[in-house]
Amino acid sequence: MALKFAKRMDNMKASEIRELLALTAKPEIISFAGGLPAPELFPVKEWKEAVNKVLDERGQQALQYGPTEGYEPLRKHIVQRMNKVGVKDAKPDDFLILSGSQQGLDFMAKAFIDPGDQIIVESPTYLGALNAFKAYEPSFLEVELDDNGMKMDQLEDRLKNNDRVKFIYVISDFQNPSGKTWTMDRREKLIELANKYDVAILEDNPYGELRFEGEIQPSLKSLDTEGRVVFMGTFSKVFSPGIRLGWFCAAPEILDKFNKIKQGADLQTSTISQMELAQWLDDNDLEAHIQKIIDVYGKRKNVMVDAMKEYFPEGVTFTNPEGGLFLWVELPDYMNARDLAVKAIDKKVAYVPGGAFFADNIRENCFRCNYSCMDEEKIVEGVKRLAEVIKAEMK
């Protein structure tokens, strides 16, 4: 037998994170490699109440097929989420419910990308997005990040010198993996350039509401003047990833394409999950719940940053995010975080080597650390172990 797969399969690799997670699942390993929310914060009791209410009152409906665009009462709740990131005029009809926002990455490339078309991405960027996009055989154009967002001269250079750019993919708040957040100036400039060069923007915003300090930034969607920003939100980080619920907010012309794609891809997102979440949102205060998450993650982030300040040798730098789940460590140029990861696992501590987060110009002297899903004591102990491993490599 010699079945021939599609060409796209040559590009598609298993996520290094998922494979690494398998390796680091042993209880004795302190793992900063995952991106898991803290399970002790899941509102299991209140969820159970909501679920029982749905099943008592509308059980048959919950187990039946539902509309492709999603359960309307849930879409009504999402109006408030959009409000919080500055989109004041969104209506339930502006949303498509997704089976997690990862599905949106797939749909965006499916709607826009013919083989050879170009996607502009941050450097580094979310490796799950790179993998999803690769199925549609794009080429990537990277734009470096500084502390304020993408470097705008580089971005304009890419836009000016390439004629197959279909969209710019951006995580503007507490980016995965870097933890960086775009300033208002850069956001406005990005919209201006997208308008000028007539390309779409995919705004991936899973963490925006998880801000430990300062004010929530206006989303790119809220600055969108021509309906070219596709906003992707999710309940994975503010509620639960296990229920797989996310959404698109986009202009009708684009949303219509996504609806057709959704029909082919999985017909609809789980009726029962949508109804249960809508019930939970009716009966509970999501804002208060988010505040609980912020309090815990904010402390853990501080503990991680403080420990890195104390134990990491000079020459190693790291970001200090104002929100989200991740921070980013830069080692001296001569170090390779991929090689170092093996030694770290020997010392029973793990992270994700940074190389995985670059589309093309791979840098290997960096790595991503997650701080959301372990207690403060473990964070300190893990950083100490990491510091030992790094120190042993310092020249």
Contact between 75 and its own copies per CB under 8 A: no
Neighbours of 173 (CB within 10 A): 27
Contact between 196 and its own copies per CB under 8 A: no
Residue 384: CB minimum distance to its own copies, A: 27
| 284 or 336: CB nearest its own copies | 284
The only residue of 26, 52, 144, 287 in contact with its own copies, by rule CB under 8 A: 52
| 160 or 309: CB nearest its own copies | 160
Alpha-carbon distance of 388 to 111, in angstroms, equals 47
Closest by Cα among 140, 138, 132 to 265: 132
Stretch of residues binding its own copies (CB under 8 A), selected from 87-95, 170-178, 269-277, 376-384 = 269-277
Residue 326: CB minimum distance to its own copies, A: 15
Alpha-carbon distance of 254 to 247, in angstroms, equals 14
Give DSSP secondary structure letters for 28-97: TSEE-S-----GGGS-HHHHHHHHHHHHHHHHHHHTS---TT--HHHHHHHHHHHHHTT--S--GGGEEE
- Which residues, numbered 124-153, are part of the site for its own copies (CB under 8 A)? 128, 131-132, 134-136
The only residue of 30, 33, 62, 210 in contact with its own copies, by rule CB under 8 A: 62
Residue 111: CB minimum distance to its own copies, A: 6
Contact between 240 and its own copies per CB under 8 A: yes
Stretch of residues binding its own copies (CB under 8 A), selected from 185-193, 203-211, 242-250, 295-303 = 242-250
Alpha-carbon distance of 278 to 286, in angstroms, equals 11
The only residue of 20, 31, 33, 37 in contact with its own copies, by rule CB under 8 A: 37
- Which residues, numbered 312-371, are part of the site for its own copies (CB under 8 A)? none
Angle, CA of 349, 353 and 358, to the nearest 5°: 160
Assign 3-class secondary structure to 160-214.
HCCCCEEEEEECCCCCCCCCCCCCHHHHHHHHHHHHHHCCEEEEECCCCCCECCC
The only residue of 31, 176, 222, 270 in contact with its own copies, by rule CB under 8 A: 270
Q: Is 179 left (phi over 0), alpha (psi -120 to 50) or beta?
A: left
| 98 or 145: CB nearest its own copies | 98
Report whether 118 contacts 200 (CB < 8 A): no
| 131 or 219: CB nearest its own copies | 131
The CA distances from residue 355 to 49, 317, 328, 373, in Å, are 44, 17, 12, 23
Stretch of residues binding its own copies (CB under 8 A), selected from 45-53, 143-151, 282-290, 301-309 = 45-53
Alpha-carbon distance of 268 to 19, in angstroms, equals 29
Contact between 198 and its own copies per CB under 8 A: yes
| 135 or 152: CB nearest its own copies | 135
The CA distances from residue 116 to 143, 164, 267, in Å, are 18, 8, 28
Contact between 228 and its own copies per CB under 8 A: yes
Contact between 154 and its own copies per CB under 8 A: no
Contact between 56 and its own copies per CB under 8 A: yes
Contact between 207 and its own copies per CB under 8 A: no
Please tell me the count of residues contacting its own copies according to CB under 8 A.
Answer: 82
Instruction: Specify which residues 104 forms β-bridges with.
Output: none
The only residue of 20, 31, 47, 330 in contact with its own copies, by rule CB under 8 A: 47
Angle, CA of 259, 126 and 204, to the nearest 5°: 40
Contact between 263 and its own copies per CB under 8 A: yes
